[in-house]
Amino acid sequence: MVTRYLSRPLGRATVLRAAALAAGASVCLSAPAAGLSAPGVAAEPAPPKPLPAYSSSLLDRPGVQVRPAVGVPLAPRDLTARSWLVSDARTGEVLAAHNAHRRLRPASTLKSLFALTALPRLHPDTPHTVTDRELRKVGGGSSLVGVDAGRRYRVADLWRGVFLSSGNDAVHVLAEMNGGWRHTVRQMQAKARELGARDTQVVSPDGYDAPGQVSSAFDLAVFGRAGLADPQFARYCSTVRARFPHGDWSYPIQNTNRLLTGADGVAPYPGLIGVKNGYTSGAGHTLIAAAHRGTRTVLVTVMDPGGGGFSVYEEARTLLDWGFSAVGRVQPVGSLLPARPRKAPDRDLRSAAAAIVPPGRSNDSSSLALVLVGVGSAAVLAGCLVLVRRRAATVARRRAAGGEFIR
């Protein structure tokens, strides 16, 4: 640290110059040029290489995006879904996609984002007596688990109602416990941005069709992957059957994800571990599905297939099969990992440099400005070190003379 001798009051320009000098010295000393490192000090180990960054340009394009590989079947091209995506859940690598960022209505798959947002804030054993007000705004035609006003439920009961029965009534109660409907919407929107899901606009946390509410196959895959990393989420979404509510008075409920249960003539998919299905008249059928096989976990999303009925499950099955044949063998076309934010320029240092060397001027202080903005050479660094040493010597002399100092 450079110590500045204060023998008289300093003007604003002098203070700026001193701050800039200190910053410049810090730059010089913290990042020495080759050959200028202090003797006897071990060099810091090189930082680990960052994970590979994938350009989103391919995923931004319409149509099927895939990089074929020898020995890997071609990606399915006869699917009817308006949007779909196949990914490696462990690494986040996108193996193939079709209209990955197309904004569509998500239906109840948006409950995955609701769970990511509210699960950490509500203890599963907390009891709650439901009120009429909490159920008043449940949309007509909603899927329900059967929450009754005046009855006491544990938070864990309500979450089973969300994941297994896709109960909008349970979502409304949990959202109120979480601080209210609008507060939960804001939290969900913030969570989506935190995860790098930029296509999602939240209006109704339960996924009920609402003007302006959209998501994408990419964003739903991001939510599914994040959910599988949460033990509570993973446990709920993979539960096939349960009692609701848990206790003496209850009735059985079953997961509505037919790839998990094998209900209604849909063959269960081997190794399936959830995640969430949905349907509304506006969104059609939507699905986030993940399955584990060996050391691999493949995650797929399917939005609004044209076949209707249970075609969403059959198209997801096709994508899962292809994903297991391709994972680890094809070059990814993107990543579900959020992009690293670019580091903003240090405006304070630039301002300090500008105060010392106004644009267009050329004098002996220009080398200091170059150091402050990170543009220098070994000669500039050496000059900076000389300047610091001279300052230190001056300070030492004045300290010996009994001057005042500020650190």
Tokens of 202: 């939240």
Q: Nearest Cα to 199, choosing from 217, 181, 172?
A: 217
DSSP element (H, E) containing 4: strand 4-5
Q: Nearest Cα to 157, choosing from 288, 250, 255, 276?
A: 250
Cα separation, 123 vs 127, whole angstroms? 9
Tokens of 276: 């969430």
Q: Where are the alpha helices (DSSP H) in 75-127?
A: 111-118
Place of tokens 């300090």: 352
Q: Which amino acid is at 321?
A: D
Cα separation, 66 vs 75, whole angstroms? 7
Q: Nearest Cα to 181, choosing from 133, 225, 145?
A: 133
CB 159: neighbour CB atoms within 10 A? Answer: 25
Q: Nearest Cα to 227, choosing from 390, 116, 350?
A: 116
Tokens of 377: 């050479």
Active-site residue list:
108, 111, 166
